[in-house]
Amino acid sequence: MKFTPALGVIAVAGTLFAGNAQAVDFNGAGASFPAPVYQAWGAKYKEKSGNALNYQSIGSGGGQNQIINRTVDFGASDAPVPAEKLESNKLLQFPTVIGAVVPTFNLPGIETGKLKLTGDVLANIYLGKITKWDDAAITALNPDVKLPSQAIVPVYRSDASGTSFIFTSYLADVSADWKGNVGAATSVQWPAGAGAKGNEGVSGTVKNTVGAIGYVEYIYAAANNLVVAQLKNKAGAFIAPDVPNFVEAAAAADWANAKNFAASMINTAGATAWPIVSPTYVLLPKDPKNIEASRETMKFFAWAYTKEGAEIAEKLHYIPLPEAVVKQVEDAWKSEIKGPDGKPVL
Amino acid sequence: MDATMDKMGGGTVQPLDKTKGTGAVSDPIFVGLLWASGIFVLVLLGLIIAELFQGGLPALQHFGLEFLWSPAWNPVTEKYGALVMIYGTLFSAIIAVIVALPLSFGIAFFLTEIAPQALKRPIGVAIQLLAAVPSIIYGMWGFFVIVPLMAAYVQPPLIATLGQVPLIGFLFQGPPLGSGMFTAGLILAVMILPFITAMFVETLESVPPMLKESAYGVGGTTYEVYKNVSVPYGRTAMVGAIMLGLGRALGETMAVTFVIGNANRLSASLFAPGATIASTIANEFPEAPIGSLKLTSLLQLGFILFVISFIVLALSRALVRSKLD
C-alpha cells in the first residue's frame, strides 16, 4: 500500500478515536482445538471494539507453559489443569466452548452411521485385542452389515493433543482394562496401531488405509464429511455424532460439583447424549500484570458467551456453554481476578 | 597496471611509513571481528550442549542410566526411557544408508565414467535439486504417495511370502500399515542420496587418470577398473561419505514424523510403526509442560541424539581426512 497524506490523516484520526476507547491488544496461546473459533471471535470482536486478539495455536501444553511464565495474557488448554497447579501458579480456569470427538473408519461400502460400536469394543480395538472387522464382538452389534474379514488398523494422534486426552478419557471410563494398562493423557503408550500427526494426519491415514479406524474432532469430521460410526451411550442407545446429542451431553454434566469448572462430560447419562464430549479451557492469571489486557480478555469472552458469539461458535460446529455455567464463570471473574490494589479487575 | 595503481594511491605515491598508518586502527578491529566470529561458533555450540545436558539432567537423575535402555515411554505413569527412540533412529537411518548406498555408487560411477557430456549436467543438477527439496515436501510426498503404495502393493505380498520364511520372517510381519520403519528408511534414502552421491563423485574424480588408464591398458573391463582401482583408491573417503549420510538421516525430523507410524513400541519388523528421537521430540514437545518429567526426558533425548550425531560426524571426518592426508 502506498502511504499518502490522506491515508496518514485517516490513520492519525483513527488512532485518536481509538485512543478514546483505549485500543488494547491482548494475547493468548495454547490449544489448537478451539483455535478456529477463537480466531473467528477475535475477528468479529475487533470489528466491534477495535481491540485485537492475537491467538497462537501452539498446543495445550505450550499454552500452559506460556501462561505460567506470564508471556501471554491468557493460556488455553483442552485438558483441565490439576487443582494444585492452578493454585501454585495463581490461575483461574474456565471453559469457553464444548467439542466432541468422533470415530471415523474406512470400510468400502459401509457409509456414515451404518457401523455401530460400543466403548468396550473401541477400547479392545485400540488395545489390539480385536484385530479383525468380522470379530464376533463387532458383528453382534451390526447384524445388518456385512463386515469383511479385514485387519483393523487403529490410528491415533502421534502428536500429544487434547483430542487424544478426551478420547483416552472415554476409553478409560468405559474399559477397566484400558484404565489399568494405558490410562488417559494427551499422549499415551498406545498398545496397537499407528500414529499420524494432527486431525488431517489421522483422517488422511484412515482414508488411505482400508480397514483403518481413527478418531478426530467433530468440527474436523463435519467440515470434511468423514465417514463416522455410531456409539452406544450410557443410556444404552446407539447415538450418531450430531450437535443436539453433544448439547444433551453438555447439559447432563455435573457443573455444580466440578472444582475449577473441570466438569466431566464423558459418557454422561442423557438419553441421546453423545459419549465423547468435553469442554476446552482458558487459563487467566489471578494477579494480572497487565490489568488492561486481563480486563479485555474477560470482556472478550463475556461477549463470546452472548448470543452473537454463540452463533459464530455453532456455525463452526462447536457447542456453546450452557447459560447457567456462563453465569458461574462471570461470577468467578469478579471474585477471583484482582489487581495489585486488591480490587476486582472487571 | 598503472591505472589501478593510480586509483589505489589516489594519483600520488606515498612513502611507505605513512601508508601503513591507515590500517593501524581498522586492521585490529577487523581481526578482532574475525576472532569473535570464530569464537562465537564455539561458544554457541558449547552453550547448546550445556543447555541440553542441564535441561535433561533431572530425567537422568530420576531414572538413572536405565533411561538409556528402558523401552517405556508412558506419559500417563510418567515412566520414560530412550531405548525405542534410539533403536528407531539407528534402524531407520541404517535402512536409509543400505538403500541409498548402491544407488549412489551407481549414479556416481555413471556420472564420472560412462555418462556422455550432454547427460552429465542434467543428472548432476537433478541430484542437487533433490538436496534442495525441503524435508516437509518429502514428508507430504511420503504420506500421500509412498505410504498408500506400500500399504496396497508392496507390503501385502512381502508379508504373505517373505513373512513366512523361517529365520528372516520376523522382519516382514505385521499388518500392512504402509507407514513404518521401512517406509521411513526409503524416504530418508532419497533425502541422503544427493549428499552421498556428491561426495562419491568427488572421490571418483580424484582418482588419478593414470591409474585408471593403466588398468584399462592392461585389458581391464569397466567393472574391473571400478572394482579394483576406483573404489579401493577412495575407500576411506567413501566410508566417510556414508557416515555423513548416516548423520543426516539420524536427525531428520519432519519427513520421518509423517511416515514412520509414531509408535512407542519396540518391534523387529521392517513394516512395524516406530519412532525416532527427532520424531518423538517433534510430536511431544508442544504438550510437555515446564518442570515436567516429560520435558526433561525430551531434552535428555535431544542430548542423546546430539551425542550420537557427534560420534557419527567425528567418525566421518576422521575417515574423510585420513584419505586426504
Long-range pairs of A292-296 with CB within 8 A, sequence gap ≥ 24:
A292/A22, A292/A24, A293/A24, A293/A25, A293/A26, A293/A27, A293/A73, A294/A26, A294/A73, A294/A337, A294/A345, A295/A24, A295/A345, A295/A346, A296/A24, A296/A26, A296/A51, A296/A73
CB contact under 8 A, A188 and B75: yes
CA–CA distance, B165 with B47 (Å, rounded to integer): 51
Lowest mean pLDDT among A167-171, B124-128, B133-137, B161-165: B161-165
Per-residue pLDDT reduced to its tens digit, A242-272: 888 888 888 888 887 788 888 888 888 888 8
Per-residue pLDDT reduced to its tens digit, B83-107: 999 999 999 999 999 999 999 999 9
What interface predicted TM-score (ipTM) does this complex get? 0.72
User: Are the C-beta atoms of residues A170 and A276 closer than 8 Å to each other?
Assistant: yes
Q: How far is A64 from chain B (nearest CA, A)?
A: 7
CB contact under 8 A, B147 and A205: yes
CATH code linked to domain A7-99+278-336 = 3.40.190.10
Give, for B79, the enclosing helix (H) or strand (E).
strand B79-80
Place A342 in a pLDDT band, splitting at 50, 70 and 90: confident
Whether A17 has a pLDDT exceeding 70, the answer reads: no
Whether A7 has a pLDDT exceeding 50, the answer reads: no
pLDDT at B9: 47
Lowest mean pLDDT among A19-28, A77-86, A169-178, B141-150: A19-28
Give, for B312, the enclosing helix (H) or strand (E).
helix B293-324
Whether B19 has a pLDDT exceeding 70, the answer reads: no
Tell me which chain B residues have a C-beta less than 8 angstroms from the C-beta of A153: 175, 177
Mean pLDDT of A174-199: 88
Which is higher by pLDDT, A208 or B182? Answer: B182
Residues of A with CB under 8 A from a CB of B: 58-62, 64-65, 68-69, 151, 153, 158-161, 182-191, 193-197, 201, 204-205, 208-209
Place A94 in a pLDDT band, splitting at 50, 70 and 90: very high
pLDDT at A65: 86
Q: What is the DSSP letter of B286?
A: G
Q: How far is B48 from chain A (nearest CA, A)?
A: 21
Distances (CA, A) of A266 to A31, A103, A287: 19, 15, 32
Per-residue pLDDT reduced to its tens digit, A273-293: 899 998 999 999 988 888 888
Whether B325 has a pLDDT exceeding 70, the answer reads: no
Mean pLDDT of B123-137: 88
Q: Residue A208 is nearest to which of B151, B264, B284, comparing CB atoms?
A: B151
Q: Residue B286 is nearest to which of A61, A188, A195, comparing CB atoms?
A: A61
Within a 13 Å sphere around the CA of B18, how many CA atoms are in the beta-carbon half? 5
Tell me which chain A residues have a C-beta less than 8 angstroms from the C-beta of B284: 159-160, 187
Q: Residue A184 is nearest to which of B73, B76, B273, comparing CB atoms?
A: B76
Whether B267 has a pLDDT exceeding 70, the answer reads: yes
Q: How far is A187 from chain B (nearest CA, A)?
A: 6
pLDDT at B100: 94
pLDDT at B6: 47
CATH code linked to domain B63-324 = 1.10.3720.10
- Locate A26 and state its grid cell: 491482548
User: Are the C-beta atoms of residues B249 and B92 closer than 8 Å to each other?
Assistant: yes
Tell me which chain A residues have a C-beta less than 8 angstroms from the C-beta of B177: 153, 194, 209
The total of other beta-carbon atoms located within 10 Å of residue A259's CB is 10
Q: How far is B289 from chain A (nearest CA, A)?
A: 5
CB contact under 8 A, B287 and A161: yes
Burial class (CB in 10 A: 0-12, 13-18, 19+), B179: buried
Phi, psi of B243, deg, nearest 5: -65, -40
Place B154 in a pLDDT band, splitting at 50, 70 and 90: confident
Which is higher by pLDDT, B319 or B224? Answer: B224
Burial class (CB in 10 A: 0-12, 13-18, 19+), B122: exposed
Tell me which chain A residues have a C-beta less than 8 angstroms from the C-beta of B265: 189-191
Instruction: Provide the residue type at B119 as one letter.
Output: L
Which is higher by pLDDT, B43 or A4? Answer: B43
Place A12 in a pLDDT band, splitting at 50, 70 and 90: very low
CB contact under 8 A, A160 and B75: yes
CA–CA distance, B279 with B277 (Å, rounded to integer): 6
Q: How far is A246 from chain B (nearest CA, A)?
A: 26
Write down the architecture of domain A101-252 according to CATH.
Answer: 3-Layer(aba) Sandwich (3.40)
Q: Residue B147 is nearest to which of A182, A188, A208, comparing CB atoms?
A: A208
Q: Is B146 helix (H, G, I), strand (E, B) or coil?
A: helix
Mean pLDDT of A302-330: 89
Tell me which chain A residues have a C-beta less than 8 angstroms from the C-beta of B142: none
Delimit the CATH 3.40.190.10 region(s) of chain A. Answer: 7-99+278-336, 101-252
Place A10 in a pLDDT band, splitting at 50, 70 and 90: very low
Tell me which chain B residues have a C-beta less than 8 angstroms from the C-beta of A201: 143, 258
Enumerate the β-bridge partners of residue A215.
A103
Tell me which chain A residues have a C-beta less than 8 angstroms from the C-beta of B155: none
Best of B287, B294, B295, B298 to disrupt the A interface (most A CBs within 10 Å) is: B287
Whether B10 has a pLDDT exceeding 70, the answer reads: no
